[in-house]
Structure 1
């Protein structure tokens, strides 16, 4: 890992010192200041002690005591008038107590995207400085002055809570897409559809889905014996990346027996939509995704849809939409009353991460059942474990903030074979959504009721459109 850190830290040193060097250009007859050599060498720091801190986020936090007596190669050239003065850093030694956070944890090697470093106390830095071959640090009084100046400057930059963030992986390769808005879809009608039934009619319905989305497709009602169906049915679909996602419209002929026949399909890239702007599309249905179909092929009819992309309030600036000056505080420090909560529809996103120490009397095949407003959703079943990790997300589109509501999550265990006790409860929890509405997000662990030591980790978000 040291070669990666060497490259990243040197890049940060160059970008940080560039504006500092620029301030002196033109002063004291200084024409230029450049790095001739910049490398931290081949000797990595030595970790003398370490404490690992537990958090609820996807990160690894470590507090360490580090000693580094490295072999860096750092040479700066100072061009003064017609002279070139070479300054070299030698015998560098550093003693520091940093807090190092690896985040976010990702499934791509080296398993984290960034290193975030901050200092828990002022560091001790010892070094020599050769100017054109002579050690100027031997000048009386200069050594202590430089030492204290460096401690002060480094502390101002990186003493906790100030941080230094070092990117390790490209964001595009590890980015986890989060919902940024809602696509409002009105399936208006279809015209001149193919005749698929023996009596010269069809029973059409439409399936809607977004590419890159694992959620089940949404469906209109079936219009019996109709080649020109009128639906006027409205749907809301969560959007994660409007620049790359595509709306898929597939028209089927419903059959009572056997598979349903495809009448046609079309695609609408979301990037053609402007935020908040309603747009009507009259689309020729195609046989498949081959957009270069020859024009002489049999017409499959048309479909008419109305589309509007509405970003969430906190993401509206990213898409150039109107902003009402409202922003959420993730930390929850800014507390507002219930009367000041922003009204309007939104997305409630619940991620059931994992559970710990869940144990049944007869079997341990845990799954979680989420209940909200009478609707039940469940995770997959994990076999023979007391520490299940689900990491499954469930979404609810709501017309108003769930300020005075709760969600109920119960951990169950199920035996596949025949048993007089096929299911049993391993504990449950009820979570009040008031804090989520006020803060936009909570990420916490909850002790399970009716469980000896069971704990559940849940992340909940509320985004207003």
Structure 2
């Protein structure tokens, strides 16, 4: 019975991937893509390092016809409102799914790898997923009808079973995500040459592709709750495991790409760092083959990040008139960084010249304010004056609900820490809107910064109630957190209206080498 619940959850999430997010090509990044990132898909992809999953494919094939009703319900109640909101930004209104036909061909799982780490209290599974099916979707937007067929999706899919509980069904829920943007292609069809309208095809494609990234490409993940008695906030927005501080120091002996009468052979190099959906790009150094970028970037990491995840580095030569030239590629695994401090020249691939100098440090997250001063002093010592500031803490905010509004407009909650801003989804007309969304911020100095939370009326995009929380007050709380606290709203919706929040602060703390050795010994 337990297995059937888990299989049902996995099947449901596969259905959601397959029918909610079509696109007719690999997502185009704002930064260059190396030629190896091709959008052409083989008819059959095999991964010999993974264990076979033919037994599960047989189960999935038999379950597939029974998923039709669930997928139709999912599209109408969950995916349709999100896409409707996204397309309204492009002045395309009234989006709706008219028909969703799953077809006869189910997804395939070509391999599986389960990571053996009992100390994590979760089970991490990677599967190589592909869907080259015959499903068909009919939809309409702004009184124009169109169809989607020949959908193809493939990529490395991660399934995290957590939390592990001591009673039926033994697993509280499942988190599902792609480790990198999956390869996606599809065919758009439309009556009366609907896609001949200028820009309409690209607008619809862009809106659809953005949804899969926001839904479940790392660091985003899709939570599927199985047990009813688990902590919803902790399951949907767990406290991160740590922060990695990456320092792209320099490169040397790069290939000379630019030649002219005045320029005897140099390049204008810059470096791109990729982690899942996140990209970071350094500045461009002119006329050199030995750039010194000294650029830092910090990433908040989940507990499963060290399994099978890599940080990719690519160096390009900037050209104003033509496409930028590829110079070198290399990577660093999170397993190497975890509980370690790295200062190394990375080996390169696909190039005969050049190397890249990288520093990386893993920081655990402490629930004690005692480590804050040490972290601030360390930041000050390594701070690069011309770069973005580093951070000393992580702030996790769970927006649960708003109660006792004076009227019933569509509302959403907007959160900000200085110039960093995030927002919940819109809750339609309700006197007590329920949001239940979590957000993570990197914080420079909790002693001086504040969290601002605003309840915004969607129609006029203006805040009607506000709560301000000085983060130094959280430093005085036990374990640096407040849970389930009702904050009184200030503003138009003041009086009896309240906002229910969980606020958790965690301080970055460098792991001592001896502690890392102890952890490794315990895991053995």
Task: Judging by fraction of residues, say which structure has more helix.
Answer: 2
Task: Judging by fraction of residues, say which structure has more strand.
Answer: 1
Question: Which entry has the higher C-alpha Rg, 1 or 2?
Answer: 1
TM-score calculated relative to the size of structure 1 = 0.47
